[in-house]
Amino acid sequence: MKYFPVTIEQSDETFFVSPTKNVLPIALLSFPILCLYLTSIAYNWEFYFFLVSFCFIVFVLALVSFDIAFLFVPLTLTNPYTLSETGTNLHISELVLLILFSVWIIRMAMSGERIIFPKQFLFPSLAIIVAALLSLVVARYFVAALQQVVRYIEILIIFFMIVIQYSRNEAQIRRIFLLLIIGGLIASLIGLGQFITGTLTVGVTRRIFGWHGGGYGALIASTLLLSISALLYQRYKVIKIWAIITIPFAGLALILSQTRAWIGALILVIGFMLFWSKREIIKKVLMMVALVTGIIVIVIQTNAFGLIENNYFKAAIEKAFKFGVTSGKRSADNFSLLLRLNVWREAIKQYLSHPLTGIGVGNLRITDYLTARLGKPAEGVGYIDNQYIQFFAEAGTIAGIAWILYIYQALHLGIQNIKRTKDSSLYAPAIGFFSCLLIFVIGSFFWVITPQHELFALMGLYIGLMFNIGRLIKRNEEVNENTQNHSVETN
C-alpha cells in the first residue's frame, strides 16, 4: 500500500476541494493561524510567523505533491536570502532543501519507490566523497572539513537523486526552465536595486553582488543563456515573453557586477551557441545582441533615467570588459591577476606536500592574498579562485581526477542531448542547461563552486535535468521505433 501520491509522471490523479464539505475544517484551521499571527504582531515576531508558515507550506506541498514543492528549488537557489534574523547564516534555499530532503526520505521509506542513479555520475561522486573522507585524517580544521564532506554528500548524491527522480517529464522540466529564468530576473532586479540605492555595493564603481556574493555573475550569466535559449528555440510563448523581459535587466546587472571571469565565460559560451546554431538562428542572435546593447546604451546615456551618475556606468563597463594586461606597474587589474597567480602557486605547493590526501577539504583558505598566507575557515577569508586546483590541493589526486571525470561525463551528456533534440520541444532546455553548465566549467578556472552552496546546487540541478532530458529522448526514440515496427507488422 502506498501512503503518498506518486509523481506527476506516474499519476493522473487530481485533488479536488469540495466547497461544502471542507468549509468547516478550513475555518477551524484558519482560526488558530489567525490567532498565532495576531500574537506574533503583539510580540514583534512577524518574521518568525512568516518563516514558520513558509516552512509549513513547503512541507505540506512536498507531502501531497513533491513535484510542485520542488518548484521552490529554482526560485530559492537563484535568490538565496540569508535568514540573518534567526542569528545564523542559514539561507532560504538551504532551508527549502532541508525540508525537501526530510520529506523525500519519508516518501522513500513509505512508498518503496525505486531510486535511480546514473552510473556515469555515481562512480566519480563516490570517489570524491571517499577522498574527502580520507582528507579528514590530515585536516587541520576538522569541523570545516566535515561540513564540506556533508555538502558533497548532500549535492552530489541526495540532491542529484531528487532532481532526476522528480523532473522526469517534459512538463516539469519546462516549469523548472521557466522558474530559473524568473528567479534570475528577480536576482537581476535585486542587484540593480542595490546599485541604485547604494546598498551592499563594493568599490569605487559600486560593484553589485546580489545575495550570491562573488558568484552573482555566474547566476546572471546563466540566466542570460537560459533566456537566449528560450527566445531562440522555445515553442511556448509564455517562456519567450519572460525571456524578453529578463534579458535587458540581466545584461545590465552582469555588467554592473563587473565579474570578468563570468563575463568572459559568457562570451565564450555564446560563441559555442552560435557554432551549434543554424544560419537563421545566428541572425536572430546578432539581432538580439544588438537590441540588448541598444537598451543598455539608452539606460546609460539617460543615467538610468536620472537615477545614477553617468560616470558610474562608464567606469563599470570599462572594468567589466577589461580582460587584458594593462600598462603601468601599479595597475589594479594587473595586481589582481598577480594575486591570483600568487595564491595558485601556494595552492600547488600545498598539493605537492600532500598529493594523496590533500590538506583537508574546506581547509584551503587564504587570509592574505599578497603573501598567500593560509587562514582559518572560521575567519571567513577568501578562496584561491580556481575550482580545479582547489580539488587537488584539498582532497588529493583522486578527488581532482574524479572531479574532472564528473565534468567530462556531464559535458558529453549535454552534447549528446543537443545533437538528439534538434527540431524538438526539448531543444531549448537541452542547449540552455548545457550552456549554463559550460559557464560554471569555464568560470571555475577563476572561481570556486563547491564551497558555495547555491552555485554547487545549481550546477547539480543543471546536470540532473540534462540527464532526464537524455532519458526522455531515449524513451521517445523507443516509442517511435516500436510504433514503426508495429506499423510494419500490421501492413
What's the rounded Cα separation, in Å, for the pair 439 and 447?
11
pLDDT of residue 214: 78
End-to-end distance of the chain based on CA atoms, in angstroms?
Answer: 43
What's the rounded Cα separation, in Å, for the pair 143 and 344?
24
Rg (CA), the chain: 24
3-state secondary structure of 34: helix
Give the CA diameter of the chain: 80
Q: How far is CA 215 from the centre of its chain?
A: 10
The cell numbers describing 438, all together, are 559550460
Residue segments in the chain with a per-residue pLDDT below the cut of 50: 1-24, 203-205, 301-302, 304-307, 323, 325-330
The cell numbers describing 394, all together, are 584539498
The cell numbers describing 50, all together, are 512568516
What's the rounded Cα separation, in Å, for the pair 247 and 252?
9
Q: Give the E-state strand segments of 354-423 in sequence order.
A: 366-368, 373-374
Amino acid at 215: G
**CB neighbour list of residue 316: distance below 8 Å, 6 or more residues apart:** 205, 206, 207, 255, 256, 258
Got the DSSP string for 140-187? Answer: SSHHHHHHHHHHHIIIIIIIHHHHHHS--SHHHHHHHHHHHHHHHHHH
Task: Map out the domains of the chain as residue ranges.
Answer: 1-9+19-114, 121-166+339-473, 173-323
Name which of 461, 409, 408, 440 is nearest 159 in CA terms: 461
**Pairing relationship of beta strands 201-202 and 207-208 according to DSSP bridges:** antiparallel
Sign of the CA dihedral running 275, 279, 285, 291: positive
pLDDT of residue 1: 38
CB 365 within 8 A of CB 376: yes
Q: Give the E-state strand segments of 141-294 in sequence order.
A: 201-202, 207-208
Q: pTM for the whole thing?
A: 0.82
Name which of 478, 475, 465 is nearest 173 in CA terms: 465
